[in-house]
Amino acid sequence: KAGVTQTPRYLIKTRGQQVTLSCSPISGHRSVSWYQQTPGQGLQFLFEYFSETQRNKGNFPGRFSGRQFSNSRSEMNVSTLELGDSALYLCASSLGGQGTGEQYFGPGTRLTVT
């Protein structure tokens, strides 16, 4: 089975721009979660989608948004980028519904904001 894929792997954007990151979960997985990883804050939960519905959301400003499509693929969008948004963005998928916390992570998208 193919693992979780994320595109693009690397991205450089300018402050004020917006960006869209994509995640394709493992086949059959219906839950997709997003995390932001930075050296200072560590791993922080952004949001979780299950069957196209946002099931949970972390403490991030409204500039961070996401969605899930009927094939379980997910995108997250960050508008009006700030320097502090530079991070590794990780997507994780799971079968979903059971709340097991057992997730499979993609390699991440490294976003640099200049």
Partner 1 sequence: GNSVTQMEGPVTLSEEAFLTINCTYTATGYPSLFWYVQYPGEGLQLLLKATKADDKGSNKGFEATYRKETTSFHLEKGSVQVSDSAVYFCALSGSQGGSEKLVFGKGTKLTVNP
List of residues contacting partner 1 (CB under 8 A): 4, 31, 33, 35, 42-43, 45, 48, 50, 55-56, 58, 90, 92, 94, 96-108
Closer by beta carbon to partner 1, 54 or else 80: 54
Shortest distance (Å) from residue 90 CB to partner 1: 6
What distance separates the 2 farthest-apart alpha carbons in the chain? 40
Are the beta carbons of 6 and 25 closer than 8 angstroms? no
Alpha-carbon span 1 to 16, nearest angstrom? 38
Shortest distance (Å) from residue 80 CB to partner 1: 26
Shortest distance (Å) from residue 15 CB to partner 1: 26
Are the beta carbons of 94 and 29 closer than 8 angstroms? yes
